[in-house]
Amino acid sequence: MTQSHMAREVAEIPEAARRFLTLSADAMRAAAKAMQAADPALIVTVARGSSDHAATYLKYAVELLAGVPVASV
């Protein structure tokens, strides 16, 4: 039986996550330092569709790790 396109994409998630974390480690550290330097009281995201899902992930990460509230508009 052939896999659907969605099933193939889901199967790629672990490798895509590993690749992202490996290749963007320096950029993530720089972004974290910039956020610490800015010391925001609030972060606002503006997104639609799949970008909104990414913004929701960012919201959880920022609120849990940095303690900064994030609002989506």
Over residues 8-58, the pLDDT tens digits come to 999 999 999 999 999 999 999 999 999 999 999 999 999 999 999 999 999
What is the structure's pLDDT at 52? 95
Based on its alpha-carbon atoms, the radius of gyration of the chain, rounded to whole angstroms, reads: 16
pTM listed for this prediction:
0.69
Can you give the pLDDT at residue 56? 96
- pLDDT score of 63 more than 80: yes
Task: Please tell me the predicted confidence (pLDDT) of residue 1.
Answer: 74
E strand or H helix at 28: helix 25-38
Angstrom distance (rounded) from CA 47 to CA 33: 24
